[in-house]
Structure 1
Amino acid sequence: MNKRGVRIAACTLLGTVALSGYQMRLEAKINHSADVPSAGFGAAIEQGSTIQDLQDDVIQNIAYLESVSGLKHNILLASEKVALADAPVSAVLVNPTVVKSKASAEVMQDVLSTIAEIETETIPEVSTQEETQAVGEQADTAEQEYAETETTQTMESLIDAIKEAEEAESSAVEDSEVKTSAGFSATDTYEDIETETADSETTEEVTEEETTEEETETVEEAQDFSGLVIARVSNYVNVRSIPSEEGEIVGKLYDKSVGEFVEEENGWYKITSGNCTGYVKGEFCVVGDEAEALAKEVGTTYAIVNTTTLKVRQEASTESAVLGLVPIEEELVVVEELDGWVKIAIEEGDGYVSRDYVSLRTDFVHAESKEEEEARLAKEAKAREEARAAAAATESARAAQQAARSEANQEVIAAAQGTAASSEGSAMGKEVINYATQFVGNPYVYGGSSLTNGADCSGFVMSVYANFGVGLPHSSSAMRSLGSDVGGLENAQPGDIVCYSGHVGLYVGNGQIVHASTSKTGIIVSNASYRKVLTVRRIF
């Protein structure tokens, strides 16, 4: 027998052994005996029979025994039994879609190991007919001894595998009422289990998505605005010492400014607002439910950063991309409060910060007492005079410090300076714009204050005014209280500081500002009303 013949015989024989083991197990069940013969086949081997004949007999015996024992015919589909009888056993054993056996892994390993060992054997070359015959006889003897040894070992492993499969089968019947026989699963049963598992996994995924949505649901906490008095006038209403127009004016409650209600007397409301306490005429104010509704419009909620550098993210998640960075103690306007997150406004757009790293405060505009007004006016006048004097002293140095202008920005710079020159305003304010616009095109650097190498928004404004001898803080929120309030963008003049939530710029004129915008754009000239303006402050 040549090498190929040995391999075919081994494959066929081992496949028959596997089927024969199942046949003998059926016989043992029919006879109500747990004893299984340790060796032998469940089919008679007649003289002159081939291994293929033995295999056909075993398959026929299995079909008969299954019928007698009452077991479900699920070891193989009927069509697969016919195909098994006609096809080489090696092809059947290596095709997992034909036999779905829980013990197939062990049997397959034995078969593949046997084939590998047989294929690697070296059959010596012979040159004579006598030597060929001798070698063939030796190969037949070795084949018979090897087959007997492998048969015994394979039967033992099959018996163990069948016992383990029956134990698993019993457990599976109790849990899921899926019927199996002799450790084999029917094709239709196996597919049903896979379908049920897939459905279960899908259900789990949906549940997890629903849980995530519930966890990120916005939690709205009601704010108490009761007991407020809000002015609703074109400019301001006087706060008087007594509930009468004859009373002394002790302060002013400007439009949309808020006070705390104390009492009502003859159509006058006694209020406390800031450092001012007195009476305002009721017809110029709103109280009660109307005041509570209006408070949501006139009040401004700020998020104050309490960590060194806070990341602002595009979505309310730590997995979301970073939109921008804000420094400690920066005050940002709150757009919306969420569960664990706060939506705020910065130069790059609206983003989200963790509630753990900010503290919230809602501010209202309060009344200004007579003393406070006088002190404010005197301070503004003094600051204006100092700024003009400092600008005059440094005017000559300004021309020498001008940086080389980029050719690409010449047209923009010239247009901005022309706009400033043609706009109403002080000469000093226009000089501020002439100086600031020469740095258009230079980079934006977070935390920077260099007009040539890079600056952020407040660093840019600070450095521009420093050239005129005016010291400003490196903070956009702090700049909102400098100088004097001009009353909105419509009253702005060249050189005024335009303040936004988390951002500042310098007013050029004709509705434009020059500012250090973002790291992508650098220092640019753009529309001043591209975002909501909080206040416009005048230094000169």
Structure 2
Amino acid sequence: MKKHIVKVAACCLVGGVVFTGSMISTKAASEKEMLPSAGVSLAFSECYTAPQKTKEIKNSTKKEEPKNTKKEEKKKTKKVKSEYADIAIAQVDNYVNVRVEANEEGEVVGKLYNNSAATILETKGDWYKIKSGSVTGYVKSEFVVRNNEELAKSVGHRIAVVDTETLRVRKDSNATSDIIGLVPQEEELTVTEEKDGWVKVSIEEGEGYVSQEFVKCKTFYVTAESKEEEEARLAKEKKEREEAEKAAQKASTSKSSSKNSSQESSSSTSKSSGSGSGQAVADFACQFVGNPYVYGGTSLTNGADCSGFVMSVYANFGVGLPHSSSAQAGVGYGVSYDQAQPGDIICYSGHVGIYIGGGQIVNASSSETGIRIQSATYREIVAVRRIF
């Protein structure tokens, strides 16, 4: 009997020790050294096990809660990566070679022209692996500028694509402001400002605001040209140049065979014929100086963008051109700027104008300046294309 009483008393004593240990472990359940020794624990488990398990579960639950809260806080405070973070802009005189390997002996797979953009995939020494258009390869890091949002914005073209059936463009940036125009779905509008959930865009009626929830904004850049693309372009230019020369020769032969036309009248006809000449194109284009610039527009009076302006001017002379500055850089045939004549299309990175002689162009410049005359060399010339 005494032995039994002693055994029960021992169990109670052990229980007291364990309960004390459990209370301490509430602060740090994972700190096993604060629990009773293995022998004492085993003794207690034979006498009283259920409450210990219950306390362990409760302690474990209490400990997990702050961990989850910290993870959620980290997710909430995670910094959003800028869309310009991995963009690199070429800053060179003409172009930088894109190579298949990160060394100067690597095969050239394409060219990244000045102010063209690329996405940086990885860094390898003083080389960047980039993707630009259809070209993937390496460029020397010294020839590009990365993480420069201001530069990226200046060379890129920010547009808003309409993502609703009919977009209402308002005078001011609020939902009760007057509607100045309606734009159909999938139309692309030039973005001039983004602020507080509203996007300022250019339409035919002028500049106005649209709610950001009804448009998708993105930035377009000029990208690299692969070797295959360059070869195809050069072959196309050569073919078009040959065809243009044949047409010019045929027209010259036809005129010289006309017995009733003097050299003077022939010259006069050349400048005012229905198909027109370069000078006639330049003279016609200058009539619209002062009219507005409207992105996507083709109206010479109500507003046109740069390629829309060139397209509409040439349409007056029976020539069909694409409504795209990059596509217009591939029409007709190429000549050097030193050989430029009135009527030639002067091509820039993302822009085009019509050469009028004397080192000047007429062009639909921007929504701020509209159609105007300015120096042809105000920025780097990418190409000069001749139609006539």
Shift of 1:277: 1.9
2-side partners of 1:325 and 1:385: how far apart? 45
**Once superposed, what is the RMSD of the aligned Cα atoms?**
5.2
Residue in 2 that maps onto 1:494: 342
Equivalent residues of 2:116, 2:223 under 8 A apart: yes
Residue by residue over 1:437-458, the C-alpha shift from the partner in whole angstroms, topping out at 9 and shown as x without a partner, is 578899999999898xx77536
Residue 367 of structure 1: aligned partner: 224
Give the C-alpha shift of residue 333 in structure 1: 2.8
Q: How does 1:43-442 map to 2 (within 5 A)?
A: 223-287=82-146, 290-291=147-148, 294-306=151-163, 312-321=169-178, 329-345=186-202, 350-384=207-241, 386=243, 399=272, 428-437=277-286
1:272/1:353 CA distance change after superposition, 3 Å? same
Give the distance between the partners of 1:276 and 1:444, measured in 2 at CA. 33
Q: Which amino acid aligns with 2:281?
A: V
SS of the residue 2:106 aligns to: coil
Q: TM-score if structure 2 supplies the norm length?
A: 0.52
Unaligned runs of 5+ in 2: 1-79, 256-268
Write the letter of the residue equivalent to 1:366.
T
- Structure 2 residue matching 1:432: 3-state secondary structure: helix
Alpha-carbon separation, structure 2, partners of 1:448 and 1:225: 29
Q: For the residues of structure 2 that align with 1:536 and 1:308, how far apart are their CA atoms? A: 38
Residues 448, 338 of structure 1: alpha-carbon distance in 2 compared, 3 angstrom cutoff = closer
What is the CA–CA distance in structure 2 between the aligned matches of 1:369 and 1:461, rounded to whole Å?
Answer: 28
Q: Does 1:465 align with 2:314?
A: yes
Report the counterpart of residue 483 of structure 1 in structure 2.
Answer: 329
Deviations 1:333-368 (A, max 9, x none): 322223442112457764323335432222233222
Question: What is the total number of aligned residue pairs between the two structures?
Answer: 279
**Residues 196-224 of structure 1: per-residue CA shift (max 9 Å, x gap):** xxxxxxxxxxxxxxxxxxxxxxxxx8633
Q: Which has the larger radius of gyration?
A: 1
* SS of residue matched to 2:229: helix
After TM superposition, the score normalised by the length of structure 1 is 0.40
Distance 1:269 1:515 in 2: 36
C-alpha distance after superposition, 1:215-273 (max 9, x if no partner): xxxxxx86333344443333322112222222221111223333333333343222222
Alpha carbons of structure 1 residues 506 and 237: separation in structure 2 relative to 1, 3 Å: closer
Q: Which structure 1 residue ranges, 5 or more long, are not aligned?
A: 1-220, 403-426, 519-523
Is the CA contact 1:343–1:352 (under 8 Å) kept in the aligned structure 2?
A: yes
The letter of the residue matching 1:315 is D
> Identity percentage over the alignment?
52
Q: 1:381 to 1:245 in 2, by over 3 A?
A: same
| Amino acid of the structure 1 residue aligned with 2:362 | I
Following the alignment from structure 1 to structure 2, what is the Cα–Cα distance between the partners of residues 491 and 329? 40
* Aligned equivalents of 1:348, 1:276: Cα separation in 2: 39
| Shift in CA distance, 298/527, structure 1 to aligned 2, threshold 3 Å | closer
Secondary structure of 1:430's match?
Answer: helix
The residue number in structure 1 matching 2:59 is none
Q: How many angstroms does 1:294 deviate by?
A: 4.7
The amino acid across from 1:234 in the alignment is D
After superposition, the Cα gap between the structure-2 partners of 1:247 and 1:376, relative to the gap in structure 1 and judged at 3 Å, is same
Residue in structure 2 matched with residue 508 of structure 1 by the alignment: 356
Q: 1:299 to 1:492 in 2, by over 3 A?
A: farther
1:479–1:278 CA distance, 2 compared to 1 (3 A): closer
